[in-house]
Copies of this chain bind each other. A is one copy, B any other.
């Protein structure tokens, strides 16, 4: 069984996670490192190493029992070459992470965009397990809105590895400005940051003590019946539903998975509202023939997805 072990590294905006995953998709050991403000290739590479050895130490195994390493990156990735084209949160640009980690670990390395990895995880081990060969799509909603698409069991990465930019689909021509400089993108209307902007300084509960509006803070405020937070989340759900409807109209998928920080903290509130809006804005039978579900694996979707790539279970 040790021959089937792979090491999955999930690079987030604020932390690095490592998981040792066995052939059945079980996490046998894990590690975690915070990313401090100093980023850049070398710093992050050191964190990857530290995090990997935490998991190995916990398991009592050595690096040479690991068949391969998968790295999930929040940014644009050239999957074939293993190069990170751009990952602003990590301070990486055209960084050959595959070669660097292969040199450090002496094991083969695959690199994938994190949302792609998340959908793959759900397709193999999670909520889409039964329909892996169908058309599948995922929305990961957090600070931004990411997306991913699978067809016939494989990820659709596109010509330059940037397929699935659901967050920059334009759904409201006259809408608010997005971080990308354009107007009316889904991300500007329905991400956690968009909710933060909508709530503004109006909400007393949410801003008590000058807290940032993380997904957890928003969930707590909603539980305390904060009116501004509730309205902002309702509006975000409507727009997410329009984004989901567009994906239904374009791809007619069997399943759409909703994941990411905002969905994991507030899915119970957002999901029924997203479904209602998606039904209203979609065409023909596409809504009826699609299951719209929350992520089944939560924080494990991304590491399990890259682990499957590292184990050669998916392409």
CA distance A252 to B163 in the complex (A): 5
Per-position 1/0 for A177-192, Cβ under 8 A of B: 0001010010000000
**Does A269 interact with chain B (Cβ within 8 Å)?**
no
Residue of B nearest to A166 (CB): B250
Chain-B contact segment, one of A96-104, A145-153, A204-212: A145-153
Contact of A170 among B162, B174, B245 (CB under 8 A): B245
In the complex, the answer to whether B147 meets A250 with C-beta atoms within 8 Å is yes
Per-position 1/0 for A160-171, Cβ under 8 A of B: 111111101111
**Does A232 interact with chain B (Cβ within 8 Å)?**
no
In the complex, the answer to whether A246 meets B169 with C-beta atoms within 8 Å is yes
**Does A89 interact with chain B (Cβ within 8 Å)?**
no
CA distance A281 to B289 in the complex (A): 30
In the complex, the answer to whether A159 meets B284 with C-beta atoms within 8 Å is no
**Does A299 interact with chain B (Cβ within 8 Å)?**
no
CA distance A282 to B168 in the complex (A): 8
Measured CB to CB, the closest approach of chain B to A150, in angstroms, equals 10
Known A-B contacts A170-B246, A246-B169; the reply to A158 vs B284 at CB < 8 A is: no
State the main secondary structure of chain A at its contact with B: loop
Specify which chain B residues have a CB less than 8 angstroms from the CB of A283 in the assembled complex: 162, 165, 168, 180, 182, 185
CA distance A31 to B76 in the complex (A): 50
Residue of A154, A157, A185, A285 contacting most chain B CB atoms (<10 Å): A285
In the complex, the answer to whether B162 meets A252 with C-beta atoms within 8 Å is yes
CA distance A171 to B245 in the complex (A): 11
Copies in the complex: 2
Specify which chain B residues have a CB less than 8 angstroms from the CB of A162 in the assembled complex: 252, 283-286
**Does A134 interact with chain B (Cβ within 8 Å)?**
yes
Specify which chain B residues have a CB less than 8 angstroms from the CB of A203 in the assembled complex: none
In the complex, the answer to whether A159 meets B253 with C-beta atoms within 8 Å is yes
Known A-B contacts A159-B134, A173-B172, A245-B170; the reply to A149 vs B281 at CB < 8 A is: no
CA distance A246 to B166 in the complex (A): 8
**Does A175 interact with chain B (Cβ within 8 Å)?**
yes
In the complex, the answer to whether A286 meets B135 with C-beta atoms within 8 Å is no
Specify which chain B residues have a CB less than 8 angstroms from the CB of A253 in the assembled complex: 158-159
Specify which chain B residues have a CB less than 8 angstroms from the CB of A282 in the assembled complex: 168
25 example contacts (A-B, Cβ-Cβ < 8 A) are as follows A134-B159, A135-B156, A135-B159, A151-B151, A152-B154, A157-B252, A158-B252, A158-B253, A159-B253, A159-B254, A162-B285, A162-B286, A163-B250, A163-B251, A164-B250, A168-B282, A169-B249, A170-B171, A170-B242, A171-B173, A172-B172, A180-B283, A182-B280, A182-B281, A246-B246
Residues of A within 8 A of B (CB): 76, 134-135, 147, 149, 151-152, 154, 156-166, 168-175, 180, 182, 185, 242, 245-247, 249-254, 280-286, 289-290
